[in-house]
Amino acid sequence: MKRRTAVAAFAAVLMAVVLLTAVAWLLWPRDRADGEAPAALSPSQSNLTAHGRELVLLAGCEGCHTSRGGMAFAGGRAIPTPFGTFFSPNITQDTQTGIGQWTAEDFWHALHDGYGPGRRLLYPTFPYTNYTRISRHDSDAMFAFLKTLHAVHAVNRRHELKFPYDQRWLLAVWRGLFFRPGVYASDSSHDGAWNRGAYLVQGVAHCSACHEARNALGAIKSKDNPSGGLVLSWYAPALADSHEAGVQTWSEGEIVSLLKSGQSNSNVPGHQGSTFGPMAEVVYESLQRTDEAELRAMAIYLKSLPDIRSSSHYGSFTVSQSQHLPMIMSRGQQLYADNCARCHGDRGEGRSPAAPALAGSRIVNMSSSVDTIRIVLYGGYAPGTDSNPRPFGMPPFYPTLHSQEIASVLTFIRDSWGNDSRPVSADEVEANMTGPLW
Ligand code: HEC
Ligand code: HEC
Ligand code: HEC
């Protein structure tokens, strides 16, 4: 009897899945395959391959498709996600292990529709949900550039995904629910520079792939009210929230400087950004080498995002912990004086250019404490760029401070000198002890 119920339950689940798949296929998005990219502000390369190279650079293909110390574009980089670990494939011209046999049409379908030859559905870890905004002309340019790469023979490593995410066919359902292919459509209520910026931010540079929260199925949670997202163990703050990564009140120059050098070089409180973690990598690998006119267009678009200012200021902190708050604060103050003040100043005012101010820092005041925990645990560097060749670094403290001490010093800096954020617990610190690399 039990067995019969189990079989019936299994059949019901199977039916539901088949039905859902059918619905997904029915809802299969109508495509918007035509459309031109808004023109670049400075004359872009007339040579197709050179134009493609610039786009591939900004799109960060190389970073994801190259393992540490491995051959460029030959794949093998591990990308940890809540669904398991992905290993990027080889996209060099090798005909057996790379994409040497692909046509420009195949490449377009990968970028625009998220499937490979034979309609093999691709996982959205490859951010085609953003790249779908890229025009056919730009896709062909990128393909022409990839054609110039040397073939590297490197067999693709299988992804190590948990069940049921290892079932590739389930992506059909996912796509039906969350994916709408479509080239960027210019918004006539804005000028050319804004549209160019929107095309780059939403499409080529795929900023939202990190900067927006995802649901349990890995899709962007809310298109209208995007909050920041957890990525590669870091918190990527919301680009539309001026309390997080929003730059609505910044000058174009400050934004361009942040994107190009990894630091905003500003004395205005709240405009002092310094990048670290995955964002430092984006600056290092892509943005610092991007044409300044393109960065300016992105700045114009970013400034225009409606400010969603998060209200979720205080998180959960239990009463028993808050009773100990005065003790934690005074312990934190002592730890700060002993370990941090020599660089960040007695009152968190920072020591320009060696260490940023902690008083008024957005990173310190964010509701998510993940990035401050990780930077104190593992230290951090802004990326070394032409405009900032020898960035000052912050030393790692995991060898010298234990989790309760790190929680205390963070609780102290988050509630001193005008900062006003919730305390940090030792449990949160421990949850972030996942290693310095992402
Ligand atoms: C965030 C990391 C990431 C970025 C950025 C990225 N990719 Fe990928 N890419 C992946 C992963 C992971 C896969 C494997 C997806 C799968 O197995 O379904 C993939 C798959 C592909 C494939 C399919 C290869 C095959 O053999 O099926 C192509 C082509 C590709 N990427 C090209 C690019 C290009 C071109 C860019 C830049 C415009 C790019 N990728 C940027 C992670 C990335
Ligand atoms: C690989 C993931 C990833 C991508 C892609 C990415 N970011 Fe970030 N970004 C982060 C993380 C994580 C942080 C928090 C750490 C920091 O502040 O450097 C961040 C921080 C920022 C900040 C705040 C800096 C500060 O100190 O106030 C801005 C602004 C920003 N990103 C803009 C962008 C833009 C624009 C793009 C697209 C060109 C982009 N990011 C693409 C992960 C990413
Ligand atoms: C040797 C100098 C030095 C010491 C000591 C030091 N820091 Fe830092 N800190 C830095 C530098 C440099 C940065 C910028 C790193 C970057 O941009 O990647 C930084 C960044 C930070 C940030 C990110 C701030 C922001 O707005 O981006 C926090 C938080 C922080 N430090 C906290 C601390 C705490 C807490 C201590 C003591 C436990 C400490 N630091 C000790 C140099 C130092």
State the pLDDT at residue 28. 60
pLDDT tens digits, one per residue of 170-221: 999 999 888 999 999 999 999 999 999 999 999 999 999 999 888 888 888 7
262 lines ligand 3 (CB under 6 A): no
Distance 228 CA to ligand 2 centre (A): 10
Task: Tell which wins on pLDDT, 64 or 269.
Answer: 64
- Nearest residue (by CA) to ligand 1, atom 43, is 126
Angle at 253 between CA 250 and CA 258, to 5 degrees: 80
Output 102-111 pairs: Cβ under 8 A, ≥24 positions apart.
102/143, 104/139, 104/140, 104/143, 104/144, 107/139, 107/142, 107/143, 107/146, 108/136, 108/139, 108/140, 108/143, 111/139, 111/142
Report pLDDT for 317: 45
pLDDT value of position 318: 46
Tell me, what's the pLDDT at 324?
Answer: 81
Distance CA 129, CA 47 (A): 27
**From the CA of 110, how far away is ligand 1's center (Å)?**
8
Q: Ligand 2: which residue has its CA nearest to atom 41? A: 207
User: Which pLDDT score, from 0 to 100, does residue 24 have?
Assistant: 62
Q: Tell me the pLDDT tens digit for each residue of 82-126.
A: 899 999 999 999 999 999 999 999 999 999 999 999 999 999 999
φ, ψ (nearest 5 deg) of residue 222: -140, 120
Tally of CA atoms within 13 A in the half-sphere of 246 that contains its CB: 19
Q: Position of tokens 């040397």?
A: 150
Which ligand is nearest to the Cα of residue 381, counting in written order?
3
pLDDT in tens, 289-301: 999 999 999 999 9
Residue with CA at minimum distance from ligand 1 atom 8: 126
Residue 141 or residue 221, greater confidence: 141
Residue 43 pLDDT exceeds 90? no
Q: Tell whether the model's pLDDT for residue 3 goes beyond 90.
A: no
Query: How high is the pLDDT of residue 74?
Result: 98
C-beta separation of 371 from 235 below 8 A: yes
The token duo for 298 is: 């992105």
